[in-house]
Amino acid sequence: QKEVEQNSGPLSVPEGAIASLNCTYSDRVSQSFFWYRQYSGKSPELIMSIYSNGDKEDGRFTAQLNKASQYVSLLIRDSQPSDSATYLCAALGGSARQLTFGSGTQLTVLP
């Protein structure tokens, strides 16, 4: 069983809509969570980090964390075609100092 699971894609939303990306994790000792965006042929780019339960907003992006449910999500408001990319959820913590990534969700924002 993969330790970080992301909702299967691909996901398509129209321009201006809200894109919702979800992630669950199995390791209860995970403490920090990150969302990376990866454009085709490029390396992952950090867009959000979240450490505490609740919401964290940064511009059009909102990350949500629920440690009791072991659930992390990313909302992208007013989606733009430039948001089209693969979004990777990652968890950090426990005895191993390593990021565990989900398989990614491919998002396409349609003009």
Partner 1 sequence: KAGVTQTPRYLIKTRGQQVTLSCSPISGHRSVSWYQQTPGQGLQFLFEYFSETQRNKGNFPGRFSGRQFSNSRSEMNVSTLELGDSALYLCASSVGGANEKLFFGSGTQLSVL
User: What's the min distance (Å) between Cβ of 17 and partner 1?
Assistant: 27
- Does the footprint of partner 1 cover residue 8 (CB under 8 A)? no
CB count within 10 Å of CB 56 equals: 15
- Does the footprint of partner 1 cover residue 53 (CB under 8 A)? no
* Residue 53 contacts residue 65 (beta carbons within 8 Å): yes
- Does the footprint of partner 1 cover residue 63 (CB under 8 A)? no
What three-state secondary structure class fits 13?
strand
User: What's the min distance (Å) between Cβ of 103 and partner 1?
Assistant: 5
- Does the footprint of partner 1 cover residue 35 (CB under 8 A)? no
Give me the torsion for CA of 20, 25, 29, 34, rounded to 10°. -40
Tokens of 106: 């491919």
CA distance linking residue 18 with residue 64, whole number of Å: 14
The interface region with partner 1, picked from 10-18, 26-34, 59-67, 72-80 by CB under 8 A, is 26-34
Which spans of this chain sit near partner 1 (rule: CB under 8 A)?
Answer: 31-32, 34, 36, 42-46, 49, 51, 88, 90, 92-93, 96-104
